[in-house]
Structure 1
Amino acid sequence: MTPASYTKHYTSAERCQQAVRNYLWLTRHATPIRLPALQAIGFNSLVFEFVEGRHVEPSDLLRLAAHLGDVHGATWLNTLHRARLDAAHVPGQGLELADYCSSRRRALAARHAAGFLPTAADLDAAQALLARTASGPVAFYKDANPRNFLITADSIVTIDVDDLTLAPFGYDLAKLIVTLTMTYGPLPARTVREALDQYNRTAAGHHETLGRTDMGHLTACMRLHDILTAPYVGRGGYQHRASDPQFTDARCGDSG
C-alpha cells in the first residue's frame, strides 16, 4: 500500500524553517517547478505528499535539461533579474539567497585542506575557475543531482529544498551532468552538448538573453562540481569522480 505522506526531519528548528521559506519562494517564483504538497509543518519536521516515482537516469538528461532551463528562465523573469551573483538576494519574509562565490570559496579552501586540491596552485586555479563562472544572468542552485528529482508517469517532481543559493545559468545543469557521470558512468560528449542546447532553448523562451550558456562555461562549472563533490565519492551512489580518466568524454574538453 502506497503511503499518503513522507516526513522529513531536520537537525534544528531553524533548518526546518529555512526549508519552508525555500519551498514557498520556489512555489511562487520558479513557476514551472512541481514540488510535493507540503501538508504539515512541525517544530523540526515537515510532512510532504508522498510521490511515487523513480530517480533520474542518464536517459532522462535531455528532458531534465529542458526542465531546468524552463525553471531558471521563469525564475529570472519573475524575480532574479533584480539579483546579482556577487551579492545576497533578500526577497523578504526572512529568506536570504546567498551570493554565488562566498560559500564556494570557503568550500574550495576546505577541499584544499582535505587534500582534494593538493597544492596552493591547485587551490588558486580552482578559485580562478570560480571567478570565471561568476558572470551572466542570475539563476539559482538547488543541488540538481539524480536523487533530487522524481520521474513520475506524467511529470518531473523536485524534492529536497533544504539549500538554495544564487548561481549562474548552467551551474545546476552542470551539477546534474557531473553527478549522473559519477553515478552511472561516462556520458557521450554529444549528449552533453544536446542537453546544453535543450537548456538554452527553454531558457531563451522566457527571454532571448538567457539562452547563451556556452560549452566553455558549462565545462568550467562541471570542473567546479567535480572538486566540490569529491568528498562524497563512495556515498549516495557516487562511484567515481567525474575527472577520473575513464570519464574524460563527459567533460567535453574546453571548446565552445
Structure 2
Amino acid sequence: MSAAAYVKNYPTPQLAEIARAHHEWLLRLEAPVRVPQLREVTGTRMALERLEGHHPRPDDLPVVAAALGALHTVANIRYLHAGRLDRPFEATPTLTIGDFTSPRVSVLPQDFEINGLPCALYKDSNIRNFILTDDHVGIIDFDDLTLAPFGYDLAKLVVSTAMTHGHLSHALIENALDRYNSETTRIPNAHCDLGRLQLYADIHHHLTSRYLGRHGYAHQWPAVHPWPRGSTTQRELP
C-alpha cells in the first residue's frame, strides 16, 4: 500500500462497507468538490488517497460553504429531487440513504415542518472532515450520510468550527450563508435564511455537546455562537 494513503479503521466490516458505498455514491455525483480516490477496503480497514492540504480555518468558512452548497445542489439535481425527508431514499440498488427525521426525532422541535422542503444531504460537515487543497475543497470521512434539508449540514460546519476555534463573527457567518445560498438557487425552496440556520445549529448543538472536551471540541456552543445578542431562535428543543 502506498505511503500516501490515508487508512481508517472501523469497528466492523459492515461499517467499512457502508462507508465505501457512501464514498462511491459521492464520487459518482461528479460535484465540484474533491473526493479522494479509494485504494482498497479490506475487512475493517478503508484506505483512501491522502489529500495534500490543510483543514479549513474559520476565515475559510465562506469557501467551504460554497462548495457544500454546490455539492448539495448537484446531489438534488441528479438524485435527491425524487426524495422525501421523512423517508429513506434508494440511491442505488445497493445503497439506501437514511431519512432525516428518524434519527433526530428526539431533538427536533415539535412544530418542525419538513413538508415542501427539498432534499439535500447530511455528510457530517465537521470542519475536520474537509481538506483545502491548492485548487479544491476536499471532503473526507464517509461514515455518515442521510437526507437533510438545505442548510442543515452548513449549520454543522458552523457549530463544529465555533466549538473548535471559539467565537465566530456574525459577519463571517452571514458571508458563509450567502455563499452557500448562491450555489443553491437552481433548487426551488432551497434558500436557507438566518433563522433556519440558527434552528439547525441549535439541533446540532444538542447532538454535539456530549463531545465537548473530545475530538477537538474545546468551546461550549452557547458561549461562542455567532448570533448577535437577542437574535437567537429562542426555541426550546427537547
Contact 1:144 1:172 in 2 (8 A): yes
Q: Give, in angstroms, the shift of residue 249 of structure 1.
A: 3.3
| 1:89-168 aligned within 5 A | 89-106=89-106, 108=107, 126-128=108-110, 131-132=112-113, 136-168=117-149
CA 133–218 in structure 1, closer or farther in 2 if over 3 Å, else same: farther
Q: Give, in angstroms, the shift of residue 208 of structure 1.
A: 4.8
Q: Give, in angstroms, the shift of residue 218 of structure 1.
A: 0.8
Structure 1: segments with no counterpart, 5+ residues = 109-125
Three-state SS of the structure 2 residue aligned to 1:15 is helix
Q: Give, in angstroms, the shift of residue 31 of structure 1.
A: 2.1
Q: Give the distance between the partners of 2:13 and 2:202, measured in 1 at CA.
A: 35
| 1:8-157 aligned within 5 A | 8-29=8-29, 31-106=31-106, 108=107, 126-128=108-110, 131-132=112-113, 136-157=117-138
Match of 1:253 among 202, 222, 232: 232
The aligned length equals 232
Q: Give the distance between the partners of 2:115 and 2:172, measured in 1 at CA.
A: 25
Q: Give the distance between the partners of 1:134 and 1:57, measured in 2 at CA.
A: 35
Three-state SS of the structure 2 residue aligned to 1:36 is coil
Q: Give the distance between the partners of 1:163 and 1:93, measured in 2 at CA.
A: 19
Q: Give, in angstroms, the shift of residue 149 of structure 1.
A: 0.5
Is 1:217 the counterpart of 2:196? The answer is: yes
AA aligned opposite 1:44: T
Structure 2: segments with no counterpart, 5+ residues = none
Contact 2:85 2:114 in 1 (8 A): no
Moved more, 72-81 or 186-195: 186-195
Three-state SS of the structure 2 residue aligned to 1:238 is coil
User: Structure 1, residues 49-104: CA drift from partner, whole Å, max 9, x if none?
Assistant: 12222111101000011111111011100000000001000123321111101111
Aligned to 1:185: 166
Aligned to 2:181: 200
Q: Give the distance between the partners of 1:199 and 1:90, measured in 2 at CA.
A: 26
**What root-mean-square deviation, in Å, do the aligned CA atoms of Structure 1 and Structure 2 show?**
2.1
Q: Which has the higher helix share?
A: 1
CA 59–248 in structure 1, closer or farther in 2 if over 3 Å, else same: closer
User: Structure 1, residues 183-208: CA drift from partner, whole Å, max 9, x if none?
Assistant: 1111111211111111010111xx15
CA 149–78 in structure 1, closer or farther in 2 if over 3 Å, else same: same
Moved more, 229-238 or 186-195: 186-195
Q: Give the distance between the partners of 1:97 and 1:42, measured in 2 at CA.
A: 23
Contact 1:199 1:211 in 2 (8 A): no
Q: Give, in angstroms, the shift of residue 254 of structure 1.
A: 3.8
TM-score normalised by length of structure 1? 0.84
